Amino acid sequence: MPSDMIRQSEYGIFINNQYHSSAKNFAVTNPATGETLTEVPDAGASDTLAAIDAAAAALPAWSATPAIERAAMLRKAAALMLERRERLATIMTLEQGKPLTESRGEIAYAASFFSWFAGEAERVYGQIVPAAAPNKRILVMRQPVGVCALITPWNFPSAMLTRKIAPALAAGCTVICKPAEQTPLSALELGRIFIDAGIPAGVVNILPALDPIPFSETIFADDRVRKVSFTGSTEVGRILIRSSAQTVKRISLELGGNAPFIVFDDADLDAAVKGAVASKFRNSGQTCICANRIFVQSAVYDAFAEKFTAAVANLKVGSGLESDTMIGPLIDHPALEKVTRHVQDAVSKGAQIMTGGAPLPAQFNPTGTFWTPTVLLNVSPHMLVTQEETFGPVAPLIRFETEDEVLALANDTPFGLSAYFYSQNVSRVMRVAEKLEFGIIGANDALPSTANAPFGGVKQSGLGREGGAFGIDEYLEVKYVSMGV
């Protein structure tokens, strides 16, 4: 049984390279079956304080470790993740529900942040700036921010964590991490990898917790924590911005999206269909960057709808452990309720269901959270499904006439994380990419995520960037020395 590997493993609060127990535990559930996979200790305020103590004690030696040595440990962590890919991917599918092929892909993606930031660790350059006086010299240096608190979501239990841990460690920071309560096992598995990669005790600490409040109150009250990085909802992001004022911490936020996916009449239609399926249905539509509103130009609307519906109707729904599954369960019942509400609202306002539109029949739906991949036709911008992030396998198709009209519709949202469009006209590609108010643009590319590029949003989708050459800046302070000579 795949879940035996979980039962046979130790999962504790990871502080100082050791797993610890706690007075209370909480259950980790398989969203595909409802079964309890295991219980993990529930970290509270005193555990959080112990983790901050450990991270603060480890900071001087870690930040003084030559970058080349820190980089070697990060490369080793990447190699170990790939070596243990099958185990890590299976655990991810068991606790998160995504198909095993996607979990394997996520483990490789997660490992790539260690490799990428190993390189960046070696290139934290300073500057010598021409001074304004002949008897002065100005030296600019970049130094680690200090102890960082990292808070990550359930939809990418491994990659969202390594996207934060890797640049932090590369910069010379130490970290305390709080993974989502639904998916702590993927995070805790990383503890063993850090030990085996030779990363010293206290540099990375991982705290599973059912209730995030004791963790966040402790980190925000503590002056030693100099930075908080969070991936999750805009609602929680706003609370963290307010909390960070207490001790004036640096903050990075990767928040919600409402991605437009635009198909122009000069697009390669087959490529657009393939891209829309990949973007919308990856992780059952539970990604912050997935297509949420699919705009199709009038001349190709019917042809696109027909091809797209046929492709979506072919997506196999089931347990992520079955090799042909393409769509797993939704994470929980609140997620199911949101999807149901969006579809019902759209239908009540005139949308037409082309395929799907309901949960899987009860005999194939042990938890009730498996939703059939859905295409909605004749959707208009006043429907909920276009205004809120659905976070589920529902694709609304909206008809448009002109480029100006669709740009106005696409930008008409408080969110600005990712946007996609398909066109074979080079001038239009440049023009539209410049006018879309989003941090990530997929131009004839539905899967833009990579460790090499600066992931992040504008407007209410967040602050800061993760990945690329910019990602390490989030964990570095800039200092200058003005020297009299």
Residues that bind ligand SIN (CB under 6 A): 155-156, 159, 254, 287-289, 449
Q: How many CA atoms lie within 13 A of 1 on its CB side?
A: 7
Q: How far is the CB of 3 from ligand SIN (least distance, A)?
A: 26
Q: Pick from 357, 356, 416, 405: which is nearest to 381 by CA?
A: 405
Q: Indicate which residues carry an active-site annotation.
A: 254, 288
Classify 63 as helix, strand or coil: helix
Q: Provide DSSP, 23-39.
A: S-EEEEE-TTT--EEEE
Q: How far is the CB of 67 from ligand SIN (least distance, A)?
A: 26
Residues in a beta bridge with 206: 14, 177
Please report, as a single letter, which amino acid is at residue 130. P
Q: How far is the CB of 100 from ligand SIN (least distance, A)?
A: 18
Three-class SS of 69-132:
HHHHHHHHHHHHHHHCHHHHHHHHHHHHCCCHHHHHHHHHHHHHHHHHHHHHHCCCCCEEECCC
Q: Which is nearer to ligand SIN, 65 or 287 (CB)?
A: 287
C-alpha to C-alpha distance for 253 and 284, rounded to whole angstroms: 23
Q: Which is nearer to ligand SIN, 104 or 192 (CB)?
A: 104
Q: How far is the CB of 482 from ligand SIN (least distance, A)?
A: 41
Classify 349 as helix, strand or coil: coil
C-alpha to C-alpha distance for 30 and 38, rounded to whole angstroms: 10
CB contact burial 203-215 (16+ within 10 A = b; e otherwise): bbbbbbbeeeebb
The CA-CA-CA angle for residues 396, 400, 401, to 5°, reads 165
Q: How far is the CB of 255 from ligand SIN (least distance, A)?
A: 9
Q: How far is the CB of 468 from ligand SIN (least distance, A)?
A: 12
Q: Which is nearer to ligand SIN, 41 or 167 (CB)?
A: 167
Q: Which is nearer to ligand SIN, 204 or 289 (CB)?
A: 289
| Residue 11 CA: distances (Å) to CA of 14, 38, 175, 186, 199 | 8, 9, 19, 10, 19
Q: Which is nearer to ligand SIN, 26 or 154 (CB)?
A: 154
Q: Which is nearer to ligand SIN, 214 or 257 (CB)?
A: 257
Q: How far is the CB of 471 from ligand SIN (least distance, A)?
A: 12
Q: What is the dihedral of CA 231, 236, 239, 240, to 10 degrees?
A: -20
Classify 144 as helix, strand or coil: strand
Q: Which is nearer to ligand SIN, 54 or 277 (CB)?
A: 277
C-alpha to C-alpha distance for 311 and 116, rounded to whole angstroms: 35
Structure tokens at 187: 């995070």
Q: Which is nearer to ligand SIN, 156 or 230 (CB)?
A: 156
The CA-to-CA distance between both ends of the chain, in Å, stands at: 71
Q: How far is the CB of 51 from ligand SIN (least distance, A)?
A: 25
C-alpha to C-alpha distance for 432 and 261, rounded to whole angstroms: 12
